[in-house]
Amino acid sequence: MKRKIINNRIVFFIILNITFFAGCALNPYQQFFHDGLRGRSVSSIKSPEAIKQEPELRFGQDPKQDGDTMLENGFICIGESNFNGPLASNDKAIEQANNIQADVVVIYSKFRNNVSGTVPFVVQGPQQQVVTNQSGSIYGSRGGVTNYSGTSTTTLPGQTNVYDIPYSVDRFDQMAIFWVKGKTPRLGVVVGDLTPEERYKIKRNRGVSIKVVVKGSPAFKADLFVGDIIFRIGNDEISGREDFYSALDKYSGQEVEIIIFRENQEIVKKIKLNVTEIKQPITQNPVKNIKKAISKDNWREK
């Protein structure tokens, strides 16, 4: 019974150590991070007015809606992490945000399943030594007697005990999106190539549609809206996103006419573009690239 108590204590301390070292494992937010800058430095897009401080941690619910809100407020996604496993510490998300110079990290988690079972754990008991006393007499052929005595020691292996150690682990789909406050945008819109439905609606194949308008930007002040379709900037016809960003480069810092399509009519807007060093920012909502297995409807707020 005493040996069983000692062995149970050993098992307890081993489980405690496993739990401790598991907490010291690699940071999953770093291990499964996907860089959204494609090799560019954070300083090339980050606002110089951004105050250097501890990254802000936010808990998201709907990645698409949260992403649009961040973009509207002038933030740029610099990367994301997604993985499945035991619920990671919030401190790990902050640690990765610090590593990549993010201003805000928005995290999401959704319960996926529970994994349980038992793991056999073998405990070898201490060795045992058996001491045997021996004595006797040896009689010679001529009547002589010799007495002898002594001891012998035999080492026996200890008893082997096998314990079934139960475990139960809740697993979660987890995601973090990392953001920085961007430099002042030239126009201040997030655009996408036209969908088949949009092409049919306007009866043309060329243009870009506005997905997000950044608050306080030239586009915001000129009353451009989500859903507007941009046909032309200055003398440049816009066929897609590449043409759009090239035109912004060309007319940066200038007042330019921008022709848009809204509610079945063409509208001309005169807008003075800002000057900025950002060429083609990563402005598409990052949720578009996240694994489809993660359903936006089931994110839970911590």
Contacts of 22 (CB under 8 A, 6+ apart): 86
- Please state, in angstroms and rounded to a whole number, the distance separating the CA atoms of residues 32 and 206: 38
pLDDT in tens, 135-154: 777 777 776 777 777 788 88
CATH topology of domain 189-272: Pdz3 Domain (2.30.42)
- 8 has a pLDDT exceeding 70: no
Q: How far is Cα 252 from Cα 273, in angstroms, rounded to an integer? A: 6
Q: pLDDT at residue 95 above 80? A: yes
- pLDDT tens profile 243-265: 999 999 999 999 999 999 999 89
Going by pLDDT thresholds of 50, 70 and 90, the confidence category of residue 6 is very low
What is the predicted pLDDT for the residue at 137? Answer: 74
Q: Helix (H, G, I), strand (E, B), or coil: what is residue 86? A: coil
Q: What is the pLDDT of residue 155?
A: 84
pLDDT at 292 over 60: no
pTM, to two decimals:
0.73
Q: Measuring CA to CA, which residue among 187, 128, 192 is closest to residue 160? A: 128
What whole-number distance in Å separates Cα of residue 267 and Cα of residue 76?
29
Q: How confident is the model at residue 109 (pLDDT cuts 50, 70, 90)?
A: very high
Stretch 54-83: mean pLDDT:
94
Lowest mean pLDDT among 5-9, 60-64, 236-240, 255-259: 5-9
73: nearest Cα among 162, 145, 174, 179: 179
Nearest residue to 187 via CA among 103, 283, 104: 283
> Percentage of the chain surpassing pLDDT 70?
82
Q: What is the average pLDDT value for the chain, to the nearest integer?
A: 83
What's the CA gap between 47 and 38, in Å, rounded?
Answer: 19
Instruction: For residues 75-82, give the mean pLDDT.
Output: 94
Give the pLDDT confidence score for residue 82 in this predicted structure: 94
> Does position 190 have pLDDT exceeding 70, yes or no?
yes
Distances (CA, A) of 262 to 117, 148, 213: 60, 116, 15
> Taking the domains of the chain in order of start, what are their residue ranges?
189-272
Which pLDDT belongs to residue 167? 85
pLDDT in the model for residue 4: 43
